[in-house]
């Protein structure tokens, strides 16, 4: 599965973890500015704190940092915090924006000493740029090729020491030589509900929205472990509270608002539930092939596989098996349905002796 494709498959999904244009406008205001304000990710935070403090003590630049994790968990935010903590300027670019090695050379050669270069989606950089980056990371040097064909010459160019912060949703896709050149890799995890509550209270303060404890908990439980989604749901709930209630976000207001947006108590949306419902009611809980399931919900195969399934799998509601998709006991409970009597996953009407009109 591919996060990038998933984002493209459902760009405006309320529960999508990729940033939409609405998010981008608000996110700058909601970003924690230093490590102390950054909620959760205890391990990454502590390790990074040591890396940065040691670098400051030495009076040098920090080691290169790789941040990996799903969209919306705080990779961009952490990169800005790294620069802020080092008192360094930050340059922001992304893998897809660097298609030619020359693009990268131009950026690298204009860095100031100690500057942080944030390379988002680093797994999507072109091969030649990647190779140039190896040398830049290791030796703070690039070879700029001047001219073409047999007359081309490589002119070595010294770079000031800088800190590369790479971010990727797919650390496994990075070539080992690139991965090895990072002094520190932080793996970002999904957030616990209590951590998301803290994110929500913090954002509510900044957005001047009144949220009580139970209201924040209600939103946190539906946010799929992702701060970006928590912040987005908070804004939708705020709208509801202002239009249909007294402006205060309570448990009841949050629940009612998210019902309007078809986000259920566990953070499933309409598509997620449609997939589960089809699996349970049409195929007795499976196993059923992906294509068959996709046709049953009237969606593309890729949409089901990349948009709906990852969260259902993570939540333990659906399993991908060699024989097909299978619903778990929790799936039946969540949709309030009763599993068929037969054991072994066979649905009603598929037992031996059944030779339907279109049977084998
Ligand atoms: N640990 C955190 N504490 C508070 N807010 C966070 C945290 N992580 C992410 N956020 C919020 O979530 C939003 C998305 O974070 P971002 O850094 O853009 O995620 P990513 O780059 O991993 O997709 C930001 O606006 C930020 O306010
Ligand atoms: Mg980002």
Whether residue 24 has a cis bond before it, omega within 30° of 0: no
Cβ contacts of 159 within 8 Å, gap of 6 or more: 108, 109, 111, 136, 140, 141, 142
Tell me whether residue 137 is in a domain.
yes
When pLDDT is averaged across residues 52-78 and rounded to a whole number, the result is 95
For this structure, is 250 an active site residue?
no
Tell me whether residue 115 is in a domain.
yes
pLDDT computed for residue 12 by the predictor: 66
CATH number of the domain that 66 lies in?
A: 3.40.50.300
For this structure, is 120 an active site residue?
yes
Tell me whether residue 151 is in a domain.
yes
Whole-number percent of the chain with pLDDT over 90: 79
Catalytic residue among 169, 250, 253, 303: 169
pLDDT of residue 274 exceeding 80, the answer is: yes
pLDDT computed for residue 352 by the predictor: 43
Q: Is 140 annotated as a binding residue?
A: yes
Which band of pLDDT confidence, cut at 50, 70 and 90, is reported for residue 353? very low
Which band of pLDDT confidence, cut at 50, 70 and 90, is reported for residue 346? very low
Alpha-carbon distance of 122 to 186, in angstroms, equals 14
Tell me whether residue 355 is in a domain.
no
Tell me whether residue 70 is in a domain.
yes
pLDDT computed for residue 351 by the predictor: 42
Ligand 1: residue whose CA is nearest its atom 1: 39
As for how many domains the chain has, the answer is: 1
For this structure, is 270 an active site residue?
no
Tell me whether residue 30 is in a domain.
no
pLDDT computed for residue 355 by the predictor: 44
pLDDT of residue 110 exceeding 80, the answer is: yes
Please work out, in degrees rounded to the nearest 5, the angle formed at the alpha carbon of residue 169 by the alpha carbons of 131 and 221. Answer: 165
Which atom number of ligand 1 is nearest to the Cα of residue 69?
A: 22
Predicted confidence (pLDDT) per residue in 206-219, tens digit:
999 999 999 999 99
Query: In terms of residue numbers, what domain contains 101?
Result: 41-187
Distance 75 CA to ligand 1 centre (A): 7
pLDDT computed for residue 350 by the predictor: 44
Tell me whether residue 71 is in a domain.
yes
Query: 322: number of CA atoms within 13 Å, CB side?
Result: 0
pLDDT computed for residue 48 by the predictor: 96
When pLDDT is averaged across residues 139-155 and rounded to a whole number, the result is 89
pLDDT computed for residue 360 by the predictor: 44
Q: Is 141 annotated as a binding residue?
A: no
When pLDDT is averaged across residues 246-253 and rounded to a whole number, the result is 95
Q: Where does ligand 1 bind, in terms of residues with CB under 6 Å? A: 27, 30-32, 38-41, 71-77, 199, 227-228, 231
Which atom number of ligand 1 is nearest to the Cα of residue 120?
A: 21
Residue 192 DSSP one-character state:
P
Predicted confidence (pLDDT) per residue in 86-101, tens digit:
999 999 999 999 988 8
Q: What 3-state class would DSSP assign to 288? A: strand
pLDDT computed for residue 208 by the predictor: 94
Tell me whether residue 199 is in a domain.
no
For this structure, is 34 an active site residue?
no
Predicted confidence (pLDDT) per residue in 23-48, tens digit:
887 888 899 999 999 999 999 999 99
Mean pLDDT of the chain: 90
Distance 228 CA to ligand 1 centre (A): 6
Nearest to 173 by CA among 352, 4, 353: 4
pLDDT computed for residue 329 by the predictor: 95
């Amino acid at each position: 599965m591919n996060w990038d494709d998933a984002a493209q498959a459902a760009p405006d999904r309320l529960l999508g973890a990729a940033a939409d244009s609405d998010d981008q406008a608000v996110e700058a205001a909601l970003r924690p500015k230093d490590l102390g304000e950054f909620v959760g990710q205890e391990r990454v935070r502590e390790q990074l704190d040591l890396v940065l403090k040691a670098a400051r003590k030495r009076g040098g630049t920090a080691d290169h940092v790789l941040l990996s994790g799903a969209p919306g968990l705080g990779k961009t935010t952490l990169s800005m915090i790294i620069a802020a903590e080092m008192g360094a300027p930050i340059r922001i670019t992304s893998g897809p924006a660097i298609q030619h090695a020359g693009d990268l050379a131009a950026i690298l050669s204009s860095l100031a000493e100690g500057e942080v270069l944030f390379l988002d989606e680093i797994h999507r950089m072109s091969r030649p740029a990647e190779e140039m980056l190896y040398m830049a990371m290791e030796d703070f040097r690039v070879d700029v090729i001047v001219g073409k064909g047999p007359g081309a010459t490589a002119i070595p160019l010294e770079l000031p020491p800088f800190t590369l912060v790479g971010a990727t949703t797919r650390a496994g896709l990075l070539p080992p030589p690139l991965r090895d050149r990072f002094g520190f890799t932080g793996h970002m995890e999904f957030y616990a509900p209590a951590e998301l509550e803290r994110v929500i209270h913090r954002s509510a303060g900044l957005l001047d929205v009144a949220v009580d404890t139970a209201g924040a908990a209600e939103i946190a439980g539906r946010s799929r472990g992702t701060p970006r989604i928590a912040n987005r749901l908070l804004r939708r709930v705020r709208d509801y509270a202002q239009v249909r209630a007294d402006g205060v976000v309570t448990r009841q207001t949050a629940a009612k608002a998210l019902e309007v947006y078809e986000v259920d108590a566990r953070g499933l949306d309409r598509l997620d539930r449609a997939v589960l419902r089809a699996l349970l009611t049409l195929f007795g809980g499976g196993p059923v092939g992906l294509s068959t399931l996709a046709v049953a919900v009237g969606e593309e195969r890729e949409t089901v596989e990349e948009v709906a399934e990852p969260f259902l799998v993570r939540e333990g509601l659906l399993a991908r098996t060699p024989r097909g998709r299978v619903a778990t006991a929790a799936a039946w409970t969540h949709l309030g349905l009763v599993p068929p009597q037969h054991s072994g996953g066979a649905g009603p009407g598929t037992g031996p002796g059944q030779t339907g009109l279109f049977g084998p």
